[in-house]
Structure 1
Amino acid sequence: MNWLLLIIGGFFETGFAISLGKAQHTSGKQMGLWLASFGVCVAISMFLLFKAMGGEKAIPVGTAYAVWGAIGAIGTVVAGVVLFHEPVTFWRMFFLSSLILSVIGLQVVST
């Protein structure tokens, strides 16, 4: 259950990054709505990270934070490509892949 909470929290981290990106390209009421979306997403994301690190099957803080951050980073890069038409370059994908492999490696070597 804690892993599910952590994964969902990572998706909300992507949501707050996207909200900030969209807020930068808007003004007035629309900007306010994107900033409100940011606030909601960051609150939910942090709460789910907190819950994933507690309870009977708590995920260690270092592992939880690394996975949560990686999910957010990966989701944000993908959203940036899809929503903001950011470039897909070899080096961006190379380092994104290395991030994924690093998080998997961290999980494999953690006790």
Structure 2
Amino acid sequence: MAWIVLVVSGVLEAVWATALGRSDGLSRVVPTCVFVAGLTLSMSGLAYALRTVPVGTGYAVWVGIGAVLTASYAMVFEGESAGPLKVLLLLGIIGCVAGLKLTH
């Protein structure tokens, strides 16, 4: 169960990071509310997961999921460049996250 919560929390990290970018310095109400809710749920889930998953592994998985999803969203929907090297490096992060799960 902790690993499922950890993955969902990583997805929510991408939600709050994207909302923060859209909040215009926390001056836009809806993105700011999404940021606060996403951050609260993401951190709460991370805290829950870290009761079972080792902190180093859990944090690396959480950050990795959030980073890959945030970057992928920006490339697909916000016009951020998506060169082959960037995509390859993001795939490397996914591989490392999967590897951390396999070693736990």
Fold match (TM-score > 0.5): yes
CA-to-partner distance for each residue in 1:50-78, whole Å, 9 max, x for gaps? 00111xxx111111101111110111011
**1:4 corresponds to 2:4:** yes
Q: Is the 8 A contact 2:11 2:69 kept in 1?
A: yes
TM-score, normalisation: structure 1: 0.84
Structure 2 gap ranges (5+): none
Give me the CA root mean square deviation.
1.8
User: 1:47 maps to which residue?
Assistant: 44
Q: In structure 1, give the amino acid aligned to 2:38.
A: C
Instruction: Provide the aligned length of Structure 1 versus Structure 2.
Output: 104
CA distance in structure 2 between the partners assigned to 1:69 and 1:83 by the alignment: 21
**How far does residue 27 in structure 1 lie from its aligned partner after superposition?**
8.8
The amino acid across from 2:6 in the alignment is L
Q: Does 1:23 align with 2:43?
A: no
Residue 27 and residue 67 in structure 1: after superposition, are their counterparts in 2 closer, same or farther (change >3 A)? closer
Calculate percent identity across the aligned residue pairs.
31
Question: What letter matches 1:102 in structure 2?
Answer: C
Residue 94 of structure 2 corresponds to 100
For the pair shown, the structure with the greater C-alpha radius of gyration is 1
Q: Which runs of 5+ in 1 are unaligned?
A: none
**Partner Cα separation in structure 1 for residue 26 and residue 58 of structure 2:** 35
Task: Give 1:106 deviation, angstroms.
Answer: 2.8
